Amino acid sequence: MSELQNVLKKMKLKGDKESTIDFLKTVARLLPPSDDYGISLTKKGVHEYVLDRRGVVIISLSLEEYLPIFSADSKRIEYNEIPEDVIKVIKTNWKQILGQLRDYLLEYSKIDKKYLEVADQVNSVIFENI
């Protein structure tokens, strides 16, 4: 967990894109081993940026023109393709990102108890950096 602590401090101190990407990569590695979990980074118009175990995906929602239903498209992007305005939001919302991670780890700990300890460690990182 010291790696998460270190990348968070580096991101808060430097605030550049590279340190933010390092933070995201570290968070992605801590996600439970399931495709059911994705951390919402931010919403920008009809696009939502989501972090999962394989990286960043943009999910676009649209309302069908003549039907009362939504359709969704997704596009996987490289970390360096994340727009600067999204990077700024990530730097500001690090507590919410780590909070989502902690909640997913707690949920997954019902299946595998070792994730309860990881969730506690993430929670400690949050409180040490408030």
* pLDDT value, residue 23: 98
The dihedral through the CA atoms of 95, 97, 99, 101 has a sign that is negative
Contacts with 22 (C-beta within 8 Å, 6 or more apart), sequence order:
7, 10, 11
Amino acid identity for residue 64 in this structure: E
Show pLDDT as tens, one digit a residue, over the chain (130 residues): 689 999 999 999 999 999 999 999 999 999 999 999 999 999 998 899 999 999 999 999 887 776 677 788 999 999 999 999 999 999 999 999 999 999 999 999 999 999 999 999 999 999 999 8
* pLDDT value, residue 1: 67
**Between the CA of residue 6 and those of 22, 39, 102, 128, what are the distances in Å?**
10, 20, 17, 12
Whether the Cβ atoms of residue 43 and residue 58 lie closer than 8 Å to each other: no
Which residues span the domain enclosing 9?
Answer: 2-128
Expressed in angstroms, the distance from the first to the final Cα of the chain is 17
**Between the CA of residue 94 and those of 8, 33, 37, 72, 101, what are the distances in Å?**
8, 22, 17, 26, 11
**CA 84 to CA 116: how far, in whole Å?**
34
**CA 25 to CA 88: how far, in whole Å?**
16
Q: How many independent structural domains does the chain possess?
A: 1
